[in-house]
Amino acid sequence: MTVVLLSLYVCLALALSNAAPVQHDKIMIKDAPEGHSHPKGEDHHDALPDRCKGIEFNAITPDEKGNTFFFKGDHLWKGFSGPAVLSNSIFKELDEYHHLGHVDAAFHMHHQDDPSVHDHIYFFLDNKVFSYYNYTLEQGYPVEIQQEFPGIPSHLDAAVECPKGECITDSVLFFKGNEIHSFDIKTKSVKKKVWTHLPNCTSAFRWLEHYYCFHGYNFTRFHPVSGEVTGIYPKDARKYFMRCGEGFGHGGNASRQRCSEVKLNAISTDDKGRTYAFQDAMYLRLDTHRYGSHHFPISRLWKEISGGVDAVFSYGENMYIVKGGQVYIYKSAAHYTLIEGYPKPLKEELGIDGTVDAAFLCPNQHIVNVIQGQKMYDIDLAATPRAVKKERPIPFPKIDAGFCDANGVKVFIGPEYYLYESPTILALGKIKPAPQKISPEKFNCEE
């Protein structure tokens, strides 16, 4: 009996091995080698892609919480470190459209005038667009791309948001080949540009007011209005946008400055609500820390400024930068532009001789407070000509930077600051308030 059963098992095994393969419901993945397909649920899900081996991303976008997602095939990475996971583990409805291949493009909507779409994430798959908020697909989606974004083609290569102030209006840049379709979110009008100097972008990413075209495992930074590329590009994305261990150190592995070592030269908020801290020849955005913090050369935004600054303040639509007895005035519209005729001497512009230590302007005021040594000068910016209106002593022999917002006046000395209710309290106060330490979260430093 045992021999008979064994013979039956052998015959059954041989029959199964020679039978036609079971037909699975197959899903073609665009990233599979030509002539290959991956059956749904099979082991291609287990073979996690490794972005540190130099892959090409299909899409990149932040979410409303500041997390950045990198997409490749049916996988994604959340943040600048960590392994890949299946896209449908976070955006589950995308799984229902796997026959479309991968996410072609994605962007984070910036349109504060319309809360119904602001902070949503849009995904583009073939000729469809998906809208997500808080990782939940909005009711009624997906829809045809033309229905949501008239004039925008299907099968996109990349997309990136461009808020007003960086572009002329709240816009989205859509990439297809070397054609860029600039979509005005409010009017739904489209302007087509051809940027042959840019590589074909397979994904695009806005990070801390900078715009990046990703191609292969490289990236190229570009101007969102003109497409201009300045600097030496392309650069390896693994050195800047992910943590890939030894040999890929710049962005993710570079050691951060200790908070006790921070010494600021200036801080200011412009009329668009963008807050900048200046330290030596670098600047840092303080209002975007949820997207990560990074120091950039001052000359990247303010091209005419080399090295550090003495003081910075904003008045109306202009940003004033004081350096070495000269005043530079920049229009704070899309990518700061130096006003014709500047720089001018400090004496001619503000009526002060020599150099200054700090300057600040409180919200909705036209009196700039300029600090020079142990003296604070009040200057009326609405007056012509501008001259010192009042001179008052302050209880510090020298300060590094000053800043005024709705919370009061902050006087920075090294890594600490002193908070006063107003410039008048600063000048008249006999007792110094207790010093406070700068925030490591905002200033990208280690305690």
Q: Which of 264, 238, 233 is nearest to 249 (CA)?
A: 238
Tally of structural domains, the chain = 3
Any domain includes 245: no
Are 28 and 64 in a shared domain?
no
Are 329 and 303 in a shared domain?
yes
Residue 34: domain span: 1-47
Distance CA 118, CA 133 (A): 9
User: Angle at Cα 252 formed by Cα 251 and Cα 256, nearest 5°?
Assistant: 85
Are 388 and 312 in a shared domain?
yes
Any domain includes 284: yes
Are 30 and 115 in a shared domain?
no
CATH code: domain of residue 117: 2.110.10.10
Distance CA 270, CA 364 (A): 12
Any domain includes 11: yes
Any domain includes 213: yes
Are 43 and 54 in a shared domain?
no
Are 29 and 55 in a shared domain?
no
Are 214 and 335 in a shared domain?
no
Are 42 and 53 in a shared domain?
no
Any domain includes 250: no
Are 181 and 266 in a shared domain?
no
User: Is 398:430 a contact under the CB 8 Å cutoff?
Assistant: no
296 CB neighbour count, 10 Å cutoff = 16
One-character DSSP codes across 50-86: -GGGT---SEEEE-TTS-EEEEETTEEEESSSS--EE
Are 26 and 59 in a shared domain?
no
Are 37 and 53 in a shared domain?
no
Are 98 and 215 in a shared domain?
yes
Q: From first to last of its 447 residues, what are the pLDDT tens digits of the chain? A: 433 333 433 333 333 333 333 333 332 333 333 333 333 333 344 578 999 998 999 999 998 888 899 999 989 999 888 899 988 889 988 767 555 458 999 999 988 788 888 889 999 999 999 999 999 999 999 999 999 999 999 999 999 999 988 898 999 999 999 999 999 999 999 999 999 999 999 999 998 788 999 999 999 999 999 999 988 999 999 988 888 876 664 444 445 688 888 999 999 999 888 899 999 999 998 887 666 667 889 998 899 999 999 999 999 999 999 999 999 999 987 678 999 999 999 999 999 999 999 999 999 999 999 999 999 999 999 999 999 999 999 999 999 999 999 999 999 999 999 999 999 999 988 889 999 999 887 887 887
